[in-house]
């Protein structure tokens, strides 16, 4: 007998940081439905802290064995939903994290690869959001703060443990409430970003469900 297990996508969002009252990434994740395209959607709130962010997320990966891990983070100043292509092995923080730690020019994992490519279908995810009339783009840098740190740690963990999970990261703009006192700064509404997240997740699920072989082409 073939037992078909429910497939799972783990989605994460961050706690507010840098003096903000909210973090759109967690607001988006919190509002997602519990199933998308028949897959289970597991939601995790991640602290904006070096080290701890990776620990909390990799523990959830080990527990849930998700087929897809999609992390969200705020990128204030960006005007579009940005699907990240790559994570680099460096911490170099402009501000302190939520534990008061400001790491400068340190590798995340010494001796580990300089970078990992995200393993979700980034172009298909951008196209799915564009089709839903939501501004989206591919981004070639997730920065060098806790967001890049987290996705690097997740991709490294999956590689070391030889898991089949695919992982990616989406940076999102500020919410309107965050730019009230910031003229000329882009923002996006929460409902729009939730729709964008759903479209991106559906595209990642479709790709993962169609994938016959581990390690197939990404586009």
CA distance 137 to 151: 18
**CB-wise, 125 or 142, nearer to ligand PCA?**
142
Instruction: Tell me how far, at minimum, the Cβ of 132 lies from ligand PCA, in Å.
Output: 23
Instruction: Tell me how far, at minimum, the Cβ of 17 lies from ligand PCA, in Å.
Output: 5
CB within 8 Å of 180: residues ≥ 6 apart: none
Instruction: Give the footprint of ligand PCA on this chain (CB under 6 A).
Output: 14, 17, 23, 25, 48, 73-75, 143, 145-147
Q: Which contiguous run of DSSP H or E holds residue 131?
A: helix 122-131
Composition of the chain by helix, strand, coil, percent to 5: 30, 20, 45
Q: Are 163 and 100 in contact (CB under 8 A)?
A: no
71 is catalytic: no
**CB-wise, 12 or 205, nearer to ligand PCA?**
12
Instruction: Tell me how far, at minimum, the Cβ of 183 lies from ligand PCA, in Å.
Output: 22
Could you tell me the two tokens for 104? 């400068």
To which residue do tokens 């590798």 refer? 107
**CB-wise, 99 or 209, nearer to ligand PCA?**
99
Instruction: Tell me how far, at minimum, the Cβ of 23 lies from ligand PCA, in Å.
Output: 5
Kindly tell me the burial class for residue 119, based on how many C-beta atoms sit within 10 Å of its own C-beta (0-12, 13-18, 19 or more).
Answer: buried
**CB-wise, 73 or 153, nearer to ligand PCA?**
73
CB within 8 Å of 129: residues ≥ 6 apart: 81, 135, 136, 196, 199, 200
Catalytic residue among 49, 84, 118, 157: 84
- Residues with active-site annotation: 84, 147, 171
């Amino acid at each position: 007998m073939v037992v078909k297990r429910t497939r799972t996508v783990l989605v994460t969002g961050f706690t507010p940081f840098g003096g903000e009252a909210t973090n759109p990434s967690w607001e988006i994740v919190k509002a997602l439905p519990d199933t998308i395209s028949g897959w289970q959607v597991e939601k995790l709130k991640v602290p904006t802290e070096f080290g701890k962010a990776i620990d909390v997320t990799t523990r959830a990966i080990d527990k849930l064995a998700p087929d897809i891990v999609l992390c969200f983070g705020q990128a204030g100043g960006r005007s579009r939903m940005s699907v990240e292509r790559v994570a680099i092995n460096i911490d170099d923080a402009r501000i302190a994290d939520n534990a008061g730690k400001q790491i400068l020019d340190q590798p995340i994992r010494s001796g580990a690869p300089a970078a990992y490519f995200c393993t979700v279908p980034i172009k298909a995810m951008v196209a799915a959001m564009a089709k839903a009339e939501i501004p989206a783009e591919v981004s070639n840098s997730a920065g060098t703060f806790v967001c890049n740190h987290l996705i690097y740690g997740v991709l490294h963990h999956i590689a070391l443990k030889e898991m089949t999970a695919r992982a990616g990261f989406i940076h999102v703009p500020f919410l309107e409430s965050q730019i009230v006192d910031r003229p000329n700064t882009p923002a996006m509404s929460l409902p729009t970003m939730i729709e964008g997240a759903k479209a991106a997740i559906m595209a990642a699920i479709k790709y993962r469900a169609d994938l016959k072989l581990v390690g197939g082409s990404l586009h």
